[in-house]
Amino acid sequence: MRDVIYVDGKWVASAGSATIDVVNPATEEVIDRVPEGTAADVDAAVAAARRAFESWAATPAEQRCGYLGRLAAKLKERNQVIAETITADMGAPVKIAQKVQAGLPAVVAGSYADPAIVPERGEEVGNSLIVREPIGVVGAITPWNYPLHQIVAKVAPALAAGCTVVLKPSEVAPLAAYLLTEIFDEIGLPPGVFNLVSGTGPVVGEAIAAHPDIDMVTFTGSTRAGSRVSEVAAQTVKRVALELGGKSPNVILPDADLPTAVKAGLSNVYLNSGQTCTALTRMIVHRDQRDEVVGLLADGVAKFSVGDPSDAATKLGPLVSAAQRDRVRGYIRQGIEEGATLVAGGPDAPEGLDKGYYVRPTVFADVTPEMTIAQEEIFGPVLSVLTYETEDEAVAIANNTQYGLAAAVWAGDAEHATAVARRIRAGQVEVNGGAFNPMAPFGGYKQSGNGRELGRFGLEEFLETKAIQR
């Protein structure tokens, strides 16, 4: 039982006595408990981070980044344990957990091991020396769908930049955060540089956003919750970086390799059981290719086995909670009620899986842009197929959303696809299946948030700019 929080380099009891059950979504069994942290816990963690800030900021970048190199090595060593923990914690199939949930954080941590990524020398502009300095104490609030990656994507650049951190992981899937904290403790990160307070958003999250001694909040989650974080943080005029929801388009142009594009698009939507903010949940295809696309999708869905996420053969595990399962099934019912054509799946439980928070992999065709399933983020294994007649119409449909996190374009000519990608208002656009780049900036337009994560751009979010006139 993880019945403690981590403050000032020590595992300590929470100021409160309440705990939160951690539930395995495949079995519905309680597998652990963590403290339901309090505002007093946040005060203690922030005070520790504030005390540690000056010396940590003055520590040479080579030493700060050295800790991240050691973190990356430990994450690689413990890939299997981390993957198994995340599988039990939030239901990611074990193969995906090994490669993505546990593997990607090691890569991201390692990307900040080179001190050259930190701009320390400054720049001469006329009679001014322009320097970049760490912003201060950072409050990080992270989600349950990628419970380790989203932490490392914030904490690693913040530490490299010279900031100290107070982390609130999601109370739904907090166990990976505890594994990370154990590694920080093991590698000897100085006391107060990293602090962990488990708990709920309305208590711990709000206390972090409102705290006058926190200089910046970095948040990943829903647009509604991100809006609340911004509102609370505005009272102390702190910087806020947000990575929020998405309703990402996948534009397939008529000359694209259709089987490849459809197969890749379906796999993208079903990754992590659809619980991915960048999921390409709107497949936008030419009207003349509608029937062929639907046939390819119907065949493809049959290959996505649903079941026990600890089984290596499973491609789709459960959703993270009963509430999330019921929410997604509600969207599927709404799609049927609004007149979309159900190609595969549906709102009923998968056969033989009465226990666990499972949802059938679902595809809708004949979806129109105004339908709820085309506008709202479902966060489950649900794909909507929309059709267009002209390229301009395809782009208009792609941009017809409050979100702008990710997108994809497929075409026979990569330059043509790139030209269309430039017209889509999203922070990251794949062209013909371009691979994810952990050094490229990640973040959204519109209500998908502000600020960027990963690589140099992610580190710069944690820096202030000072002009020294000479």
Task: Tell me the catalytic residues.
Answer: 243
Measured N-to-C along each axis, helices 149-161 and 175-186 cross at an angle, to the nearest 10 degrees, of 30
Beta bridge partners of 343: none
Task: Please tell me the distance from the alpha carbon of residue 66 to that of residue 84, in angstroms, as a whole number.
Answer: 27
Burial 51-66 (b: 16+ CB within 10 A, else e): ebbeebbebebeebbe
CB 463 within 8 A of CB 161: yes
SS3 416: helix
Cβ 469 vs Cβ 125: under 8 Å: no
Interatomic CA distance for residues 317 and 420, integer angstroms: 34
Residues written for the chain: 470
Q: Rounded to 10 degrees, what is the CA torsion of 111, 431, 102, 34?
A: 100
225 sits in the region (left: phi over 0; alpha: psi -120 to 50; else beta) called alpha
E-strand stretches of 10-169: 10-12, 19-24, 29-35, 123-125, 128-134, 137-141, 164-168
Tokens 């408990």: give the residue. Answer: 33
Please give the helix or strand (H or E) that residue 440 lies within, else none: none
User: In which residue are the tokens 């999708």 written?
Assistant: 297
Q: DSSP secondary-structure letter at 453? A: B
CA 2 vs CA 14, 54, 192, 231, 446: distances in Å = 11, 31, 20, 32, 38
